Amino acid sequence: MKKQLTFYFIRHGRTLWNEQGLMQGHGDSPLTEQGILGAQKAGKALQSIPFVAAYSSILKRTIDTAEYIIGERNIPLFQHKGLNEQFFGKWEGQWVETLREQAEFKQMLSDPANYKAETNGGETFEQLAERAMSTLQDIIKIHDKGNILIVSHGHTLRLLLALLGGATWQNHREEGKSVSLLNTAISVVHYDSEKGFSIEKVNDAGHL
């Protein structure tokens, strides 16, 4: 059977740790007032889209964001740990500005092909790419047509969108292949089981 789906990918709302400049990853912190407002604005921007389902990671910041986007609408919301943020190991909860001095942190940002996550015991981009794409395929197996809301995280969505646009996990941080996603920005990707993926827009923050 032919499948036709449209995915609305949204990074979670701004959080306390975002404000404090701390690495988040699998660590979690609550949405700020700005984060809640951003999610509500995204919900308003998408209120005319008839979603058949919504998915978030298992981390509270994405669950809360998804619930604010959905509001009073009757849209089933599911959690999938494959949508979690990249795991940063012992870097989580640490000051980002301090971490920027470390060679492997610089490598993570600029040379994903050679980032081994050795000093932090975290997750490589290869591992992240495999689970993010696998998760998307899980969701595609469940639905045949319609609009799907997906609320996830900065690194996860940046890599996933780059992969869907033809980049690789090794080169996705090169200029022009991906962008750093704003909190509650909207990216839209169409899926056709015969034609594959096509990206309509990335990092749209017009509603904010």
List the binding residues.
Answer: 11-18, 61
How many other CB atoms sit within 10 Å of the CB of residue 33? 9
Give the chain's length.
208
- The active-site residue out of 26, 85, 92, 172 is 85
Run of H or E residues at 108 = helix 103-110
Point out the annotated binding site for substrate: 11-18, 61
**Contact 14/186 with Cβ under 8 angstroms?**
no
Is 190 an annotated catalytic residue?
A: no
Is 12 an annotated catalytic residue?
A: yes
Cβ partners under 8 Å of residue 49, min gap 6? 8, 147
- The Cα 74–Cα 54 span in angstroms is 10
* Residues designated as active site: 12, 85
